[in-house]
Amino acid sequence: MGKRGSSGEGGGERRNQDRRRSDIGAALRRIETKFATVFRACPDLIAITARDTGRFIEVNDAFERIMGWTKPETIGRTSGELGTWESRAERDRMIAALGDATRLENFEVRFRRKSGEVFTALMSLEVVNLSGEPSLIFVARDINQRKAEEMLLRRSAEELERSNMELERFAYVAAHDLLEPCRTICSFAQMLERKHGAILDDEGREYLDFLVGGAQRMRDLIQGVLGYSRAGMAAAQMVDVDMDDLVKVVIADLGSALETRGGAIETGPLPVVRGDPAQLRQLMVNLIGNGLKFHAEDGRPRVRVAAESLEGEWCVTVEDNGIGIDPEYQDDIFGIFRRLHGPDRYPGAGIGLAVARRIAEAHGGRIWVESEPGQGARFRFTLPMV
Ligand code: ADP
């Protein structure tokens, strides 16, 4: 009875074990099917080769599609026999990069399709043991299209830069050559006014005034274009510049503007930056000068210069208590010859901010303004920290 009972229990145990084994078998088959599907359907090319012989053991559908070789044509043969590398040197380069390591990631290689077409691929490689056999798993993505697009983009950027430089050179040469005759007109018109103004009637003198004014304005504009062209030439001399000292010099330069307008300039502690001293001085003259210039008729201009570190860069602020700028025009005013006022109320050629932007950008920085009409303006520019 006891014996039968125990053999009955043993049979139950065996059946349980058999069931467990078959469950495990089914689970393994499901996992295998899953991985086989992933391997087959993966959009990137996958190939497994034996490390010792270099023969292909397995390749996926993407390999067939990208390389043009079918599985039966590939399996059992080597990459050398198929000619899947662009050249032997390309294969050697990959082997040298792998060295003694067991993995190589995102390595750019040149493969050759069955059709003979060469293409660029981004390849990763892992050395593994498959059923005791040292093997290599290659995963590669065809990036030919991306490379071609990158090349096109690079070419158009180069072309754009070339034509930009040509235009700048043209503007510089044109302005340079125009300046001389313009100066001649200016000085002879002034001489005419001085020496022979008395013999002209009122109408004649008025015409002469227009002539002198127009010629002077033309000279200022041409000088502005020259200044703008020069500011675009890459920051020539990059040295440590103490902005504290530089602003002191700028304030001294602006002495007469300060006096005539009864203004005041305050400065906070300023950093040492790396840049071209002459260009940075020009940038500060333009911003502080505008701060003194664009104030309400009855107000006394106050300009504050300060600096702070902002996300790993220096940010210099030139803030005034002047007429402010409508947000709608806050980008526009950095364009060449862009002015929001006529020359009668606020003289100028509309070049100062365009030059300021060029200088800030040539130093790897940005420039912008924060302002509301009637509330003063805060011009801010960044410079890399040294
Ligand atoms: P300009 O000073 O010769 O007019 P800018 O290029 O320096 O030329 O400035 C362009 C325009 O931006 C100015 O004409 C003015 O309308 C506006 N602007 C510049 N700075 C200020 C400021 N601090 N406050 C108000 N408006 C300003």
Atom of ligand 1 nearest to the CA of 324: 25
Residue 232 has a pLDDT of 65
Alpha-carbon distance of 322 to 374, in angstroms, equals 7
User: What is the reported pLDDT for 4?
Assistant: 47
Mean pLDDT within 23-31: 87
In which band, very low, low, confident or very high, does the pLDDT at 348 lie, cut at 50, 70 and 90? confident
C-beta neighbour count of 215 within 10 angstroms: 19
pLDDT in tens, 63-104: 999 999 999 999 999 999 999 999 999 999 999 999 999 999
Mean pLDDT for 197-205 is 91
pLDDT tens for 247-260 read 999 999 888 878 87
In whole angstroms, give the CA distance from residue 52 to residue 135: 8
- The residue-averaged pLDDT of 26-55 equals 91
CB of 341 closer than 6 angstroms to any ligand 1 atom: yes
| CA 152 to ligand 1 center in whole angstroms | 39
Return the pLDDT at 247.
Answer: 95
Cβ of residue 339 lying under 6 Å from some atom of ligand 1: yes
| 325 Cα–ligand 1 center, Å | 9
329-337 mean pLDDT: 92
Best residue among 317, 353, 369, 379 to mutate for probing ligand 1, ranked by most atoms within 8 Å of CB: 353
Mutate to test the pocket of ligand 1, among 217, 223, 225, 290 (most ligand atoms within 8 A of CB): 290
| Distance separating alpha carbons of residues 163 and 209, to the nearest angstrom | 40
Q: 359 CB less than 6 Å from ligand 1? A: no
220 CA → ligand 1 middle, Å: 16
Residue 49, beta-bridge partner list = 56, 136
Residue 333 C-alpha to ligand 1 middle, in angstroms? 7
% of residues, the chain, pLDDT over 90? 65
pLDDT greater than 90 at residue 127: yes
Instruction: Encode burial over 309-324: b for 16+ CB neighbours within 10 A, e otherwise.
Output: eeeebbbbbbbbbbbb
Ligand 1 touching residue 319 (CB < 6 A): no
Q: Does the Cβ of 109 fall within 6 Å of ligand 1?
A: no
Q: Which atom of ligand 1 is nearest to the CA of 350?
A: 8
Tell me what pLDDT residue 2 has. Answer: 44
Q: 51: which residues sit within 8 A by CB, 6+ positions away?
A: 127, 133, 134, 135, 136
Mean pLDDT of 10-35: 85
How many whole angstroms separate alpha carbon 219 and alpha carbon 222?
Answer: 5
Q: Is residue 7 scored above 60 in pLDDT?
A: no
Give pLDDT, residue 5: 46
Ligand 1 and 232: CB distance under 6 A: no
Residues 299 and 16: their CA atoms lie apart, in Å, by 97
How large is the average pLDDT for residues 227-233?
Answer: 79
Task: Judge if the beta carbon of residue 231 lies within 6 A of ligand 1.
Answer: no
Q: What percent of the chain has pLDDT over 70?
A: 96
What digits encode the pLDDT tens for the residues 335-346? 988 888 877 788
Q: Report how far residue 160's alpha carbon sits from residue 308's, in angstroms, rounded to the nearest whole number.
A: 35
> Which of 135-139, 251-255, 273-277 has the lowest average pLDDT?
251-255
pLDDT at 6 exceeding the cut of 70: no
Is the pLDDT reported for residue 12 higher than 90? no
Helices (DSSP H) in the chain: which residue ranges?
A: 2-41, 61-67, 71-74, 79-82, 88-98, 144-196, 202-232, 243-253, 255-261, 277-293, 352-362
Residues 6 or more apart whose CB falls under 8 angstroms from that of 255 comprise: none
Residues 187 and 204: their CA atoms lie apart, in Å, by: 18
